[in-house]
Amino acid sequence: MPSGTLQIRAISGHSGSVPGAGAHREEEVCKYVDVTTCIGCKACEVACVEWNDMPFGKTTFDNTYQTMPSTAWNYWNLIKFNEHPRDDGSLMWTMRKDQCMHCEDPGCLRACPAEGAIVQYANGIVDFNQENCIGCQYCVTGCPFDIPKFNSATKKVYKCTLCSDRVGQGLEPACVKACPTGCLKFGTKPDMLALAEKRAGQLREHSGFANAGVYDPASVNGTHVIYVLHDAKNPEMYGGLPASPRIPTTFTMWKSLAKPVGLLLALLAAPVAFFHYIAEGPKEPQPPSRGDQP
């Protein structure tokens, strides 16, 4: 998103007010994924691999419409295929685009101990800087969506960048650009949420999906990728989308509070020892020798 600092404040020789004065630019971006209109064509998968210039790996055929079991360090975007039994015994096919959710409260960033390896931009994109990554994989543990993937050759972790390089230039992510059905859209968070709510309402009222809704989980303060689901009450049916994604307390309470406090308490032993010496002095061998050894 272009920076607001180049917004015009005053114009020479111009009568009246400055055009656009006081206009507010919404900075937070969002990818909208309408699971109900995805046809599973995988154009987004190919576009992702191409734009990010990733070496193409082998796919796995397991008699489904899914390219491989899960995303990989060089495959950041995967259409998860699932067969969901309906009440009448027939099967419903679901295609959910699985990629980094760009959480507002990112568990990967909380878990990371390496300075600058993970950043969150003002527009909400969570990005990995591999040159600062130390390969500890704590982000893998911190992520509630199992997204960061380790490359054992480079000892670095990789994931979807929401095409931060494209978005920075005012373009949409590669996956959105490639989508032929319009089930992927990109814009500001409020716009995408409004669109998603509208679509979910349509599904409830006209398509018979009484539980249709928007997936924007509050347990991570919302995400910058949102889904429209036929059944928002049961996100698990879309290839294990967690109903309430949680960052382990290891990386919240423990890391941000108990760890530094614990270290300070432990280090207290040093001044205690020092002042013990000052107050009590050393324990000399007795009797204190004033001449030769005994």
Partner 1 sequence: MTTAVERFDDEARRRVAAHGRTIVHDGELLRHPVYTRLLHWAVAIFFLLAFLSGFALYTPWLYHALTPIFGGGPTTRLLHPWFSLGFVIAFALQILNWATPMLWTPADSRWLKRIKTYVSNEELLEPADVGFFNGGQKLYFWTIVASALVFVISGLPMWFPRTFGRGAVAISYVLHDVAALLMLVGFIVHIYESTAQQPGTFQAMTRGTVSKRWAWTHHPAWYRDATGRNPREDYERAAARESDRR
Interaction between residue 289 and partner 1 (CB under 8 A):
yes
**Does 56 help bind partner 1 (rule: CB under 8 A)?**
no
CB 262 to partner 1: min, Å: 5
Q: Which of 122, 169, 267, 275 binds partner 1 (CB under 8 A)?
A: 267
What is d(CA 164, CA 285) in angstroms, rounded to the nearest whole number?
69
Name the helix (H) or strand (E) containing 229: strand 225-229
The answer to whether 50 and 183 have CB atoms below 8 angstroms apart is no
How many CB atoms are closer than 10 A to CB 201?
13
With contacts defined by CB under 8 A, name the span among 72-80, 186-194, 228-236, 256-264 that binds partner 1: 256-264
The pair of three-digit structure tokens given for residue 31, joined into one six-digit string: 């990818």
For partner 1, which residue of 64, 132, 188, 219 counts as binding (CB under 8 A)?
132
Edge to edge, the sheet with strand 213-215 lists: 184-188, 29-34, 225-229, 213-215
The structure tokens 């207290």 sit at 268
Cβ 138 vs Cβ 110: under 8 Å: no
Extract the runs of DSSP E, i.e. beta strands, from the chain: 29-34, 78-85, 91-98, 118-120, 126-128, 149-151, 156-158, 184-188, 213-215, 225-229
Task: Select the residue interacting with partner 1 from 12, 15, 63, 293 (CB under 8 A).
Answer: 293
Give, for 32, the enclosing helix (H) or strand (E).
strand 29-34
290 contributes a contact to partner 1 by CB under 8 A: yes
The verdict on 270 binding partner 1 (CB under 8 A) reads yes
Q: Which amino acid is at 16?
A: G
64 part of the interface to partner 1, by CB under 8 A: no
Select from 74, 141, 188, 202 the one that contacts partner 1 (CB under 8 A). Answer: 141
Residues binding partner 1: what is the number (CB under 8 A)?
A: 47
- State which of residues 57, 85, 113, 168 lies at the interface with partner 1 (CB under 8 A): 113
- 154 or 181, CB closer to partner 1? 154
Q: State the residues that interact with partner 1 by CB under 8 A.
A: 113-115, 117, 132-138, 140-141, 146, 150, 155, 248, 250-251, 254, 258-260, 262-263, 265-267, 269-270, 273, 276-277, 280-291, 293-294
